[in-house]
């Protein structure tokens, strides 16, 4: 894979992870929608974003009418279904960009992942979160160690259900 779209929460979480550079073994370049920039307030995340941009590992995606229209469709569709978690505008934009370009969307928000399971309009979009990328990067006891470190570094807690789905035995 050469590029993936990221949202703010994903980028912020990986900016805190001590092995954040390992992400580039999966995706040599990340694309960050311009609409997401205002959501990144942490100075650590901003420094990480700046270092990635200057090294060519991060590109900023400008707002484009075609993507805006698709994002609005997805935003309206997802948020009109009461059973689905709400999606926000920046997530919808990233999801629309990923859909139209056939590239993965990286997010630690559940809404895009859950919506993908229910809506045929986005079923073909690969929506991945940090747990899935950790599982793609590491294996065995090394995976369990990196998951623990990720949770410690970021404050994210993966549910026992999700860990079991990935066949990961985790004891606190």
Is the per-residue pLDDT at 172 higher than 80?
A: no
Is the per-residue pLDDT at 2 higher than 90?
A: no
Is the per-residue pLDDT at 171 higher than 90?
A: no
Is the per-residue pLDDT at 169 higher than 90?
A: no
Contact between residue 74 and residue 92 where contact means Cβ atoms under 8 Å apart? yes
Residue-wise pLDDT for 123-159, tens only, equals 999 999 999 999 999 998 899 999 999 999 999 999 8
Superfamily the domain 3-131 falls into: 5'-nuclease (3.40.50.1010)
Contact between residue 28 and residue 57 where contact means Cβ atoms under 8 Å apart? yes
Query: What are the Cα distances from residue 66, in Å, to 72, 85, 140, 141?
Result: 10, 25, 43, 45
Is the per-residue pLDDT at 1 higher than 80?
A: no
Looking up tokens 């859950």 gives 114
Give the count of beta carbons closer than 10 Å to the beta carbon of residue 166. Answer: 14
Read off the pTM. Answer: 0.94
Of 61, 70, 106, residue with least CA distance to 89: 70
Contact between residue 78 and residue 92 where contact means Cβ atoms under 8 Å apart? yes
Distance CA 56, CA 147 (A): 27
Residue-wise pLDDT for 43-83, tens only, equals 989 999 999 999 999 999 999 999 999 999 999 999 999 99
């Amino acid at each position: 894979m050469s590029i993936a779209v990221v949202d703010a929460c994903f980028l912020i979480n990986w900016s805190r992870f001590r092995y954040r550079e390992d992400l580039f073994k999966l995706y040599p370049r990340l694309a960050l929608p311009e609409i997401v920039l205002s959501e990144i307030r942490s100075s650590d995340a901003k420094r990480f974003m700046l270092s990635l941009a200057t090294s060519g590992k991060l590109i900023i995606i400008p707002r484009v009418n075609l993507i805006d229209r698709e994002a609005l469709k997805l935003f309206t569709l997802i948020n009109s279904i009461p059973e689905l978690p709400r999606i926000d505008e920046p997530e919808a934009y990233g999801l629309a960009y990923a859909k139209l370009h056939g590239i993965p969307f990286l997010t630690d928000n559940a809404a895009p992942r859950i919506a993908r399971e229910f809506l045929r309009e986005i079923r073909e979009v690969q929506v991945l979160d940090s747990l899935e990328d950790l599982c793609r990067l590491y294996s065995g006891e090394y995976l369990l160690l990196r998951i623990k470190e990720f949770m410690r570094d970021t404050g994210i807690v993966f549910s026992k259900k999700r860990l079991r789905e990935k066949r990961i035995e985790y004891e606190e």
